[in-house]
Structure 1
Amino acid sequence: MENLRELETFSSVEEMDNFISKALEYFDLCELDRRLLRLLAGHSCKFIGVSWLKVESMANALRVSYKTVQRALKRLKELGIIKRIRTLRPTRGGFGASITIICPIELTYREEATKEAPEGTQEASAHKETFYFKTYSGDIKYTQDIKYIRQQAELDYSYLTEFVPEEFIQVVKPFVSPEEAYSLWGKVQVVAKKYAPSVLDIVEPAIRAFKASVLAYKMRRIKKSFGAYFWGALSGIFSVEQRRVAGAKLWNWLGE
């Protein structure tokens, strides 16, 4: 255990607490990640900055699942706030439990040029832009920015309104997440284009296919996956709709 003394990353608990406070302010962490970081700090006082807390114990303390904690740890690792080290069993050999080390990364700033104030007004004050890693130079790259958004943001259904019809959202909302709703509507568009290119209103057939799939799921008739069954239901319903539209066009042509 004394070997952990060599892994300490802070000289005092006060120094560690100050870093945690700054990290919570600078990083736009979700509530779970903030709670996890505080939990780790609370269990890193004997060897300052080093926690022996197991993932199972973290999950129990936060009242979430094991995998949820693993994902939160991964997010904190990618931000550079912590790192995880596997330990070795001295007697039996092999890997033991992992330890978590809080890393006092440097949070730097870049000052933007002071803008010239209009005549008769006070000069504009210099604006500071926060950078999340000292290794960042210049603007955050697009791929890094998108990765950061995916880590932090939890979507709600308001994000779908520009891409998914409101009627479809209201039907699927009680059963699936926003991401799943977006994926299901993507299937609707692909199947409609393939099997029913002449059908203009694809929302109503899509809703019927979804309701049929939910009923089949509730009745335990789905043998593979819900997505595969939904695709099959869409294919059947849109094929019928395409024949109906084509038949109506043919009837109108014969009547002319």
Structure 2
Amino acid sequence: MTTHYTLVHFTDYQNFDSIQEMDATVRQFNARISKPHYETLNVLKQHSCKVIGVSHLKVATIANAVGRSTRAIHRHLKYLADNGFITVANTSRKKSGGKGANIYIINRIDQQKAIQKKHVSYRKASHRNTVKTAVKRQQQQAFAYIKVKKQTMYSLKLLNSLFSSTGRKYKRMRKKMKLTRIDNIKNATFANRIVPEGIYHQFIPFFSDAQLTALYKTAVNRLATFDLDAIQQNDAITYGLESLVKALRRYHRGEGEPVYNLYAYLNRTLLHIGFNGEFYDDVYAYTNAADFRTAMA
């Protein structure tokens, strides 16, 4: 009786009238997504024949079917849902309570396009809000700067008046204040606001602040073409910079060739690392040159 109730409940989510219709839709989706994502989608399809297009699976079951970690499957399912290929519905255990295995509904092509269009519109609106916030912050900073500048000018006028009225005593004081400011300027240090703190402290012994900032920007731009989460991207950048430092170490020890362009070397290295992170779910995976060229082709 429980199974019958579940099937009846699942049919409320059904989008297809036949398995053939579902298969044709999934084939079109597969042509638009990467291999890890369509492997996950195909597992959902294979378990969606009793109630066409609807499956009831645990993440661990999907992970075992494709030979990947549950963490990777969570990312794949999020990508498929965010881009409208599937819809995820949560279930709960009737007896013990709490969250059970999710229901995964494969969407029709028109549903997917509508969801993706809505998602893109949301991102554009979010970007506009970010720009407005940045402009507002810059305006506030500009007004604050003007206010501070006026206050500083007033303070200097007041000091000049005091110095002129009190003679050599205040002249000495002014000179001392100037020397103190110069000492402060000489010893001024500012935090790097672009490179993350962990990466900055690990690699600043090997590069200047400007070099490390430029290398980090190069790495971020290179990895933008790959589907990596924040943790994978951070690991990939760290691994790429370690490879660069090792190459420099080999050269200075007289064991290797010189690195003529730091940024080109890092860019080329991260192409392999980013590829491994997206297609093998492991930025540290080994890919020989022949396999890499074949996969990229």
TM-score (norm 1): 0.46
Give the structure, 1 or 2, with the largest relative contact order (CA under 8 Å, sep 6 or more): 1
Structure with the largest fraction of strand? 1
Structure with the largest fraction of helix? 2
